């Protein structure tokens, strides 16, 4: 926390963050040796599935299997806010990706990864731009308050 990040981006992380870590990032609790963040620090995650579909590990393989069984026609990927429930946070950016008839799992993985490389940058930009806007709005409110007092 002493580094004071503006954002934490998880891409290929493949570990579940503790609820305590999430609470620290949200500014609800503090570590013994660090100060509580003055503003929540967003934590976002890249996941190769659509919201509420194939949460957790092996999402691409599970989507491909579901396609082969005729259960789905497409899959996708998303960047979402990290919450205690794995891959259940608020989606920031979602993109559908078609699964091609007769296509291989490897071809699907390649197409998904191409989309992931784009949306992780878009989501990071979106979050940081929102952070900058919030920061300047807060400064404006504080400056106006100081002038009124």
Active-site annotation holder among 47, 80, 113, 145: 47
- By DSSP bridging, strand 8-10 and strand 43-47 are parallel
Examine the residue annotation and report whether 47 is marked as an active-site residue of this protein: yes
Q: What is d(CA 112, CA 122) in angstroms, rounded to the nearest whole number?
A: 15
b/e 79-98 (16+ beta carbons within 10 angstroms → b)? bbbbbeeebebebbbbeebe
Residue 13 vs residues 9, 33, 38, 46, 137: alpha-carbon distances, Å? 9, 26, 26, 9, 33
- Residues labelled catalytic: 47
């Amino acid at each position: 926390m002493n580094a004071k990040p503006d954002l934490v981006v998880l891409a290929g992380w493949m570990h579940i963050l503790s609820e305590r870590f999430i609470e620290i990032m949200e500014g609800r609790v503090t570590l013994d040796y660090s100060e509580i963040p003055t503003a929540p620090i967003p934590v976002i995650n890249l996941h190769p599935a659509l919201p509420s579909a194939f949460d957790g590990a092996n999402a691409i393989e599970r989507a491909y299997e579901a396609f082969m069984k005729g259960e789905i026609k497409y899959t996708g990927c998303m960047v979402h806010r990290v919450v205690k429930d794995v891959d259940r946070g608020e989606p920031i950016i979602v993109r559908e990706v078609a699964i091609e008839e007769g296509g291989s799992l490897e071809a699907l993985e390649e197409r998904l990864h191409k989309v992931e490389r784009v949306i992780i940058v878009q989501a990071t930009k979106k979050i940081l731009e929102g952070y900058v806007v919030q920061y300047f709005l807060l400064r404006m409110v504080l400056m106006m308050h100081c002038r009124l007092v």
